[in-house]
Amino acid sequence: MVADSSSQLEGLSALIMQAPSWRRSVLLILLLGGAIELMLVLAGTRHSEIVAYAGILLFTVPALVATCVTPPLVRRGGNDITPDWSALIALGSCIVTILITLSPVLLLATDFVILFFAASQGIVFFLRILILAAIVDHHFRQILIPALTQTAVASFFGWLLLGDLFALFVIPLHIFFCLATWAFIWILERPMKQALGLSPLGFANAFMAHMIEGSTALEDFFRQMGDSVTVVFGTLLFRRNGREAMTVTAPNLHPGPLGEIGGSALPRILTESMNGRALVFHGMATHDFNPVSASEVETIAESIRDAQKEPLDWCATATHAQRYEAGSVSVLAQAFGDTIFIAATRSPNITDDVEYAVGLAIIEEGKRWFRHVVLADAHNSFIDLPPPVLLGSRIAEDYREAAATACKALVGEPQYPYSIGFSQLDVPFTHEEGFGDLGVMAMVTVVEGKETIWLVFDGNNLHFGIREELRDLFIQESDECEISTSDTHVVNMASGKNPVGWKVPLALFLPFVREAVDCAREDLAPAESAGGTACCADIVVFGSQRITQLAGIVTGSVGIVWPVALIITIMAFVSTGVVYFLLT
């Protein structure tokens, strides 16, 4: 089975963590130093290597200095790091130093405490370079001094308290580990540089900048990886007396990958580009069709406007909305003149994205019966990330068959004058709770007294069962209903798991859904429509299988981290031993 690109992103998100408050890290540093100092007091002077105040001077003070000094040193190089991350790195370095230094004590081999403390400084230097290279700047020269702060202070106090012999150990160790780190980074970056011409640590820097400060530097990487493509999709333009025209569309581009990066805010940006007069459904596309930047969305808006240029064939009639099924796929379809609007779902079966090739095949086949086809993926049933629906699969054939059945049936159905109403309602829920900036949107059509409700949540999928609960509620007061999501990825900072209804129960947002439907009903007015087929050319997207390729390279690189790190550590310890015996 072909791995889903969104699943690949989900796998990469497991490598990401958020730094706790710097206050918590500093408190732990102070507690650790105090605990070591207490151990030294209880141990007395039985061991010559144990020096008064060593717990504070060798462990606590270097960590606190690094916490304070690292951010300004990083900023001098044109980068940034938060106090939370600075304190967390210092805390981790302090813990590593303590564990390595005291390991001989556990073996009752106190004669080697000085040696192991010196070795701990080399290892911490190695780790600080790697961490700063990943989250701040992958250029070695930019992070060398910030990485040195903690071990430099610890080594200085070590020289004062432990003598010249310690200095003779720790200086060559810093040199050994500095060279080892350079070699480690070279090995780590080589696969991606050869395959994509990109630095994985540079990618990590951009990703962390996005996580920490909302930077859009990731878009530069995506553009380098991207391909220029042309996508085709349908649009419907509605006009009503005394009201502004309204566009209904389902662009076959994916609103990802995450946060405000790339095309993640596509539904909102496209709606704003249409002056707020658009209802944007999710089209047929996977993460391979993520626009590389938000600016690409304007190209989509232009293609929609081009498709709606005069002369247009206006029609004031529509069919009743009808539901058709094939295999696991159910579609709700309604024809407006020479244009058919289709929303497809597999709910309650779990489904995420449908690839563009499937959608394009359905649109082209639908043109046998209708001039224009607006095809939406309802994207409305989620528990965990499934594979995408690929061309040639059984599920893809179900989509094609259900849509073709709808087209064949509705082309022969009589059409009647109709009324249509729209609404968009903000909700008091955040991105973290699964709701995008557009909240909940509703479209209501009434044909010969028969009402159809089309709901769209600005979110990334619906939690399993929510669609059925909502549909059961509204089907009692209307003739048909479908619930969709826009698939906006502004609700996903690092993970693809944040569907509507997962963190906020239905009971809390149901009143806003009802209000949106009521507002759309109040907005009902006789309408006429004109269809169009937008051809969005030269839009830069991630490109076929780029996410899978990127995730595979990163996963492979992560797989070699521990073996290479272990080899380097062993070699450093061997070098330490050689220096130790030469000096003693």
* 83-87 mean pLDDT: 92
Supply the pLDDT for residue 26: 94
Interatomic CA distance for residues 352 and 360, integer angstroms: 17
pLDDT per position as a tens digit, 317-356: 999 999 999 999 999 999 999 999 999 999 999 998 999 9
Supply the pLDDT for residue 16: 53
- pLDDT of 424 higher than 60: yes
Q: What is the mean pLDDT of the chain?
A: 86
Q: Tell me the pTM.
A: 0.78
* DSSP E strands, 299-365: 317-318, 322-326, 329-336, 339-345
Interatomic CA distance for residues 139 and 259, integer angstroms: 26
- Confidence category of residue 572, pLDDT binned at 50, 70, 90: low
* 46-67 mean pLDDT: 76
pLDDT per position as a tens digit, 361-409: 999 999 999 999 999 999 999 998 888 999 999 999 999 999 999 999 9
- Confidence category of residue 44, pLDDT binned at 50, 70, 90: low
- pLDDT of 561 higher than 70: no
- pLDDT of 56 higher than 70: yes
Tokens coding 1: 């089975």
- Confidence category of residue 1, pLDDT binned at 50, 70, 90: very low
Residue for token pair 């209903």: 481
- Confidence category of residue 48, pLDDT binned at 50, 70, 90: very low
Of 347, 304, 353, the residue nearest 325 (C-alpha) = 347
DSSP count for the chain of H helices, then E strands:
17, 13
Three-class SS state of 241: coil
* 202-224 mean pLDDT: 70
The percent of residues in the chain predicted with pLDDT above 70, rounded, is: 84
With beta carbons less than 8 A apart as the criterion, state whether 294 and 262 touch: yes
Of 139 and 60, which is predicted with more confidence?
A: 60
Three-class SS state of 172: helix
> Phi first, then psi: what are they for 569, rounded to 5°?
-65, -45
User: Amino acid identity, residue 61?
Assistant: V
User: CB count, 10 Å around CB of 227?
Assistant: 14
Supply the pLDDT for residue 583: 62
Supply the pLDDT for residue 348: 95
Question: What separation in angstroms does the CA of 94 have from each of 67, 106, 117, 127, 129?
Answer: 11, 18, 11, 11, 15
Q: Give alpha helix (H) positions in 479-545.
A: 506-522
Supply the pLDDT for residue 584: 61
Q: Residue 550's beta-bridge partner residues? A: none
Supply the pLDDT for residue 47: 45
Interatomic CA distance for residues 356 and 181, integer angstroms: 43
pLDDT per position as a tens digit, 285-308: 998 899 988 888 888 999 998 888
Interatomic CA distance for residues 399 and 330, integer angstroms: 8
Tokens coding 221: 């990487």
Interatomic CA distance for residues 432 and 300, integer angstroms: 27
The percent of residues in the chain predicted with pLDDT above 90, rounded, is: 53
User: Amino acid identity, residue 235?
Assistant: T
Residue 420: enclosing H or E segment and its boundaries? strand 416-425
- Confidence category of residue 45, pLDDT binned at 50, 70, 90: very low
In the chain, where are the structural domains located? 19-212+547-583, 227-541
Three-class SS state of 214: coil
Of 449, 448, 456, 577, the residue nearest 513 (C-alpha) = 456
> Phi first, then psi: what are they for 258, rounded to 5°?
-170, 155
Supply the pLDDT for residue 454: 98
Interatomic CA distance for residues 262 and 291, integer angstroms: 6
pLDDT per position as a tens digit, 229-286: 999 999 999 999 888 899 999 999 999 887 787 888 999 999 999 988 999 999 999 9
pLDDT per position as a tens digit, 4-22: 444 455 444 544 556 789 9
Q: Give alpha helix (H) positions in 411-502.
A: 466-475
Residue 455: left (phi > 0), alpha (psi -120 to 50), or beta?
beta
Interatomic CA distance for residues 457 and 490, integer angstroms: 13
